[in-house]
Amino acid sequence: MAEHRHRATGRRSAGRPPGEPAGKESAPDLDPDFGDRPLTEARQDIVIGRWQGVRDLLSATGDDWPRRTHRIRLLAHAAAGSSAVENWRTAEPDSPDVAVLRAATEVVRAFNLAIAAGRGVAVDRERLDATVRVCLRAAEISRADPMPWVSLLTVARLYEDGVSRSELRRWWDELRRRDPYNTEGHTQVLRYFSARWHGTHGRMYDFARDAAGAAPPGSPLPVLVQIARVEEYRYATEGAGGRRAVRDFGQHWRHELAVTEARRTFDRWIGGRPRGPVLPEEVGELNYLTHAVCYAGLDDEAGQLFGLLGPRAAQVPWSYTGDPAEQFTAFRRGRSRAGTLPGARPAKPQAG
């Protein structure tokens, strides 16, 4: 299973994704794997009880950390409701890959318990401590892999009062030693610092802006600022109980600072992005930026981003402001302006 990433430098000009004919607009594709066909096949293997395809996929992925993080995260969601990881571990107990996937899977299972219990209900601390031990064991077995540290930074949110500052700092430092610009790890820390979890809007934005400012040109990390804006919106709409949008909150997406920061993220990320097609592991964050520039009214930037994405839509963040396919289609056709889409509605409360 050959794996290849484009690493050439230079400004990326927008264009049609491979296979999309000129003049033809495809319906939004909400594939959760973002076109990663080998990942889709491996997730289907999990459904029928096979783990060999997962093993082969992770072996082929190697130390391509962005792709590995993307794949393990989605494999963990598929494996959480099955015994595939346990069966693989029984067959190959010394495999570093199974240890890392097991850790990520236990984190997903812990979040599933939290979702089932309802927001505000604490998950059993012993269960969380056991999950942390699984993650730490994976980190020992697969020492170079950043993913166990991403898993730890994710499960930290579920502790009722968070984790100690020193513990969070240690996990964060270990992640950054291995992959200093790991997008998923940064996103998990951002959520930890959000008002929805263990921080404030100010702490969350400070973290996002600091990380964005330290990122090299072409890194997706500047989009953390747009992810923070989505988290603030979720906090406000969940506080309203999902009954209606907070008064005047439409300006949240298009006031001067929001527009300036959306344009800055576009310039720093897309302006310095290596040439080549959009990779599956980029699609989620590109949807965050596309959502931001659309609602900010930045038509030129939106057109270029849709040229990069083609039909590849993500449920999040579009689902927080309405129907994902409807918004993606309307903005892509240029028929709507920010905040006036038919069917737009407040975000539904969610854990995660």
Last residue of a domain, one of 180, 213, 230: 180
Q: What is the pLDDT of residue 240?
A: 64
pLDDT at position 339: 37
Band (345; pLDDT cuts 50, 70, 90): very low
The pLDDT of 83-110, averaged and rounded, is 98
CATH number of the domain within which 125 lies: 1.25.40
Q: 122-131, 162-171, 332-341: which has the minimum mean pLDDT?
A: 332-341
**Separation in Å, CA 214 to CA 58, 140, 219, 230, 308:** 30, 29, 10, 21, 25
Percent of the chain past pLDDT 70, that is, above it, reads 85
Q: Check whether 184 has a pLDDT greater than 50.
A: yes
Do residues 192 and 199 make contact, with C-beta atoms less than 8 angstroms apart?
yes
Dump pLDDT digits (tens) for 4-33.
333 333 333 333 343 344 445 689 999 999
Which among 56, 55, 115 is positioned nearest to 81, based on CA atoms? 115
More confident residue, 97 or 1: 97
Q: Does residue 14 belong to any structural domain of this protein?
A: no
Q: Domain for residue 210, yes or no? A: yes
The mean pLDDT of the chain is 88
**What amino acid is encoded at 284 in this protein?**
G
Residue 134 CB neighbours (<10 A): 20
Asked, for residue 82, whether it belongs to a domain, the answer is: yes
Quick one: 235 and 194 in the same domain? Answer: yes
The pLDDT value given to residue 222: 98
Please determine, for residue 243, whether its predicted confidence score (pLDDT) is greater than 70.
no
Residues 205 and 63 in one domain: no
| Average of per-residue pLDDT across 318-338 | 84
Could you give the number of structural domains in the chain?
Answer: 2
Q: 195 and 164, same structural domain?
A: no
Q: Count of CB atoms within 10 A of residue 327's CB?
A: 24
The pLDDT assigned to 192 comes to 98
| Residue 29 backbone dihedrals phi, psi, to 5 degrees | -105, 110
Whether 226 has a pLDDT exceeding 90, the answer reads yes
Residue 194 sits in the same domain as residue 168: no
Check whether residue 239 and residue 133 sit in a common domain.
no
18 falls within a domain: no
Instruction: For residue 338, name the pLDDT band (cuts at 50, 70, 90).
Output: very low
The predicted structure's pLDDT at residue 241: 60
pLDDT at 62 over 90: yes
Does residue 117 lie in a domain region?
yes
* Same domain assignment for residues 175 and 192: no
Lowest mean pLDDT among 150-159, 189-198, 250-259, 281-290: 250-259
Of the residues 133, 154, 180, which one is the last residue of a structural domain?
Answer: 180
| C-alpha–C-alpha distance, residues 327 and 261, integer Å | 22
Q: Are residues 164 and 203 in the same domain?
A: no
- pLDDT(349) > 90: no
Cβ-Cβ contacts under 8 Å for 150 (sequence gap 6 or more): 69, 104, 175, 182, 184, 185, 188
pLDDT for 268 equals 97
Do 163 and 198 share a domain, yes or no? no
Task: Say what the pLDDT of residue 231 is.
Answer: 97
Q: For residue 136, tell me if it sits in a domain.
A: yes
- Percent of all residues in the chain with a pLDDT value above 90, rounded to a whole number: 80
Same domain for 97 and 147? Answer: yes
Whether residue 7 lies inside any domain: the answer is no
Domain that holds residue 169: 25-180
Domain check: are 133 and 163 in the same one?
Answer: yes
219 and 298, same domain (yes or no): yes
Residue 20 lies in a domain: no
Q: What is the identity of the amino acid at 341? A: L
* Residue 307 shares a structural domain with residue 202: yes
Q: Could you read off the pLDDT of 100-150 as tens digits, one per residue?
A: 999 999 999 999 999 999 877 899 999 999 999 999 999 999 999 999 999
225 or 5: which leads in pLDDT: 225
Measure CA 351 to chain center: 14
End-of-domain residue from the set 137, 161, 180: 180
Can you give the pLDDT at residue 25? Answer: 67
> What is the average pLDDT across 295-318?
96
Which pLDDT score, from 0 to 100, does residue 334 have? Answer: 82
| Under 8 Å between Cβ of 45 and 14 | no
Q: Among 60-64, 181-185, 239-243, 264-268, whose mean pLDDT is lowest?
A: 239-243
